[in-house]
Each structure stands twice: as C-alpha cells, then as structure tokens.
Amino acid sequence: MNDPITSRVQKAPLFKKAKPPAPSKKKSLGYYNEAKPTGTGAAAGGGMSQKGVSKYRKDNPGSKLKTAVTTPPSELKPGSKAAKRRKSFCARSKSWTSERGRAARRRWNC
C-alpha cells in the first residue's frame, strides 16, 4: 500500500499549467521615439532616446545598450569608437526600408 512509486504517480499533475506569455519589448513599453517623416536627431524618431535607453537598462540589468551616434560624420574623428559604431550600424541597417528603419538611419546620419 505505501509503495513509493504509486504514491508519486498519484501526486503528479495530469497537465502542466501553461506559462503566461513573456512581456513584449515593443514600442508600447515606451523605449522608442516615434518615427517622423522629417527631421534629424531625436526629431527623426525611429530609435531610442536617452530616457528610453535608461529605462531599458533599468529593466534589463547587465545591458550595455547605448544611444545612437548622432554626431555628423564630418565632426567624428576617423577611427574613433563612435565613428566605428556608426559605420557598423549603417552597414548592417542598409536593408531597413520601413518608416522606423529609415528614421533610425536618418538619425544615425547613414
């Protein structure tokens, strides 16, 4: 009667409870600027403001997220960290054709 296997089987649930969906990390959380068809820098939208980056880093400890390099390329020292980040972003975002993608590239001076 007190068989350990039988008692374990009786206690096991028949179905596992489904996990609630993970919170979405989309615009609705308030991290991103809204994309606008005109403007440069923060007015262009399509990226995160310093406030959005701060909020994201607070919500995701250990994150190394940074804001866009909005300095015009002519004012960046060639080979500097900022110039390399900008060049790298522009290279990998060439195919971004949505409104937000174009706004982000405009903000980074791509």
Supply the pLDDT for residue 90. 95
| Region 6-27 average pLDDT | 59
And the tokens for 22? 């993970």
Q: Tell me the residue type at 54.
A: S
Q: Note the Cα 98 to chain centre separation in Å.
A: 16
Q: How far apart are CA 19 and CA 65, in angstroms?
A: 28
| Region 76-80 average pLDDT | 94
Supply the pLDDT for residue 48. 81
Q: What angle do CA 93, 67, 92 make, to 5 degrees?
A: 15
Chain position carrying tokens 């993608």: 101
Q: Tell me the residue type at 4.
A: P
Is the pLDDT reported for residue 72 higher than 80?
A: yes
